[in-house]
Chain A
Amino acid sequence: MEKSFEQCFPNLENVHQKKTSEQDQRYNCIAWAFKDNRRFWWPSSRAFWPLDIDQLSELEAFEQWFEHDGWEETQLPTLEPNFEKVALFTKEGKPTHAARLLESGYWSSKLGGDIDISHTLNELDGPLYGSVLRIYRKPIQDT
């Protein structure tokens, strides 16, 4: 049975109007959250992960990476001047997804190896991704 958008994301409406890129298996949601559209990120031996995973659980590996990369937890899911934000989703204690906040106030997500969309924060809540566990923020660095 094909998994449809409606089944996976019951709160997501008009997905085709929210699509911002075509399907591309070269990168996933975590890569996209950290502005990398070239690699598939996950704390797994099959994917790229910027730190040693050692014996960490997946959630611990994510937390370690956020801390290492200078992110701090915030309760505010909206734009703040000079900060970028990433939301981490979990289901039953396991990370499932990450989204990053755009300057428009919408969130940007790569859906697995499928399309990119822009959306409101809770539109991806549901049986596949669970819900937002934490929102992280980090000062925007001039490049």
Chain B
Amino acid sequence: MTFGSSVHSTVDGTGRYQIYGFDSSESRSSSSKSSGKYTQSHRDFVRAFYAVLRRWQSETAFVSDPDAKTRHKSFEALVGLAEHVTPLIISELQQEPSLLVWVLEDAFGERPYSDDQVGDIEAMSNAWIAWAERNGKIL
């Protein structure tokens, strides 16, 4: 499986999430002029989230094995971004139940649903929406 080069994400040595690959005008608009060091804005995280989400969905669309889907590098990137865009993920789940529930599982190390709901993507999505409401993570 190959990956494009428009967006790359990794965790730097400080544990902070780094995003590369945006055009220079976007980067300049978000950079910290006082320190000269680039600091990601929320807009950057949103753009990165949708870019990586599209890649994950398109490259694993026809795969049924959850473990194969979640081994994909774009899935790992989504987990890394999740904390920064949680309300956005919740908004996506409110629009349509989806496999983003697995991203939240790995990002937060929680399963806010019972064992007998595992695999019921709609119930899992609703449980994450309720979790977000309890934790102030709604847009």
Q: Give the B-binding residues of A (Cβ under 8 A).
A: 1-3, 8-9, 23, 25-30, 38-42, 44-49, 58, 94-97, 110-114, 128
CB pair B61–A44 under 8 Å, yes or no, is: no
Per-residue contact bits, chain B 97-131, to A (CB 8 Å; 1 contact, 0 not): 11100100100000000000011111000000000
CB pair B66–A40 under 8 Å, yes or no, is: yes
Nearest chain B CB to A14's CB is how many angstroms away? 17
> What is the CA–CA distance of A71 and B105 in the complex, to the nearest angstrom?
34
> What is the CA–CA distance of A114 and B120 in the complex, to the nearest angstrom?
16
Chain B residues bordering chain A, tally (CB within 8 A): 25
Q: Which 4 A-B pairs have the closest CB atoms?
A: A48-B119, A46-B66, A28-B64, A112-B62
Contact of A46 among B58, B98, B102, B122 (CB under 8 A): B102
> What is the CA–CA distance of A1 and B65 in the complex, to the nearest angstrom?
20
CB pair B121–A42 under 8 Å, yes or no, is: no
CB pair B61–A96 under 8 Å, yes or no, is: no
CB pair A44–B65 under 8 Å, yes or no, is: yes
Q: 19 pairs across A/B with beta carbons < 8 Å?
A: A1-B2, A2-B59, A3-B58, A3-B61, A8-B62, A25-B96, A26-B121, A38-B122, A40-B119, A42-B65, A42-B67, A44-B65, A45-B118, A46-B66, A47-B66, A49-B119, A94-B65, A112-B60, A112-B64
> Would you call the interface of chain B mostly helix, strand, loop, or mixed?
loop
Q: Give the A-binding residues of B (Cβ under 8 A).
A: 2-4, 58-67, 70, 96-99, 102, 105, 118-122
> What is the CA–CA distance of A129 and B72 in the complex, to the nearest angstrom?
17
Contacts of B65 in A (CB 8 A): 42, 44, 58, 94-96
